[in-house]
């Protein structure tokens, strides 16, 4: 779909065979017309004119997109701010604005109850902690791999440090219960 949008933006003609899947549009505004009386001075009139023009252009673009999707058999989905939501000329962090927003969300939930979200499967770490025997490679405080022999752990640590010198890499000795930081020798 990204390729199709890119071609549409730069003037290439879209072929129906290139289109697949649903089409989603999210508008962070109301689509309905808003009536508002503005102060009789140039700046408020220009601002209101501009906002009216942008909203009309948005509606026309959405209509053209809907017709295109319908013509090509593409599912069209649109989300916008509900027309009953009040426009308050307040700070968005003002208590009144927050209360309105909360009540609108509550009303919407009552109209369309959501199914509970499925719980994600519990994550299992490959290594839950430090090993009780052998050696471990610790990268930035996290156990990444375990080794039976010290030479294998040191070799992997040096190789990793050579590739990523900014990482803090240590080799943990389970028998001695201590770790040793890997530092590359200056060449």
| Domain residue spans of the chain | 2-80, 135-181
Most confident of 21-35, 50-64, 73-87: 50-64
Tens-place pLDDT, residues 122-137: 544 444 578 888 999 8
Residues 7-23, mean pLDDT to the nearest whole number: 61
- The answer, yes or no, to whether residue 1 has pLDDT greater than 80, is no
User: Using CB atoms within 10 A of its CB, is residue 14 exposed (0-12), middle (13-18) or buried (19+)?
Assistant: middle
pLDDT, greater one: 160 or 102: 160
pLDDT score recorded for residue 127 = 46
- Backbone phi and psi for residue 78, each to the nearest 5 degrees, phi listed first: -130, 135
At 173, the pLDDT band (50, 70, 90 cuts) reads very high
pLDDT score recorded for residue 92 = 54
Per DSSP, what are the bridge partners of residue 179?
172
Percent of the chain whose pLDDT exceeds 70: 71
- Backbone phi and psi for residue 16, each to the nearest 5 degrees, phi listed first: -55, -30
């Amino acid at each position: 779909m990204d390729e199709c949008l890119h071609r549409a933006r730069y003037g290439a003609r879209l072929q129906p065979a290139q289109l697949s899947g649903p089409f989603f549009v999210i508008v962070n505004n109301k689509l309905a017309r808003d009536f508002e009386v503005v102060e009789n001075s140039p700046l408020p009139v220009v601002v209101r004119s501009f906002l009216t023009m942008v909203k009309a252009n948005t509606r026309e673009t959405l209509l053209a997109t809907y017709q295109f999707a319908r013509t090509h058999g593409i599912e069209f989905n649109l989300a916008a701010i509900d027309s009953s939501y009040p426009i308050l000329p307040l700070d968005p962090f003002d208590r009144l604005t927050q209360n309105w927003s909360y009540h609108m969300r509550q009303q919407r939930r009552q109209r369309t109850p959501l199914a509970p979200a499925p719980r994600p499967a519990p994550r299992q770490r490959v290594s839950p902690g430090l090993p009780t025997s052998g050696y471990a490679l610790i990268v930035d405080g996290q156990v990444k791999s375990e080794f039976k022999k010290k030479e294998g752990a040191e070799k992997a640590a040096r190789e990793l440090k050579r590739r990523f010198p900014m990482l803090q890499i240590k080799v943990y000795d389970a028998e001695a219960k201590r770790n040793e930081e890997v530092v590359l020798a200056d060449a």
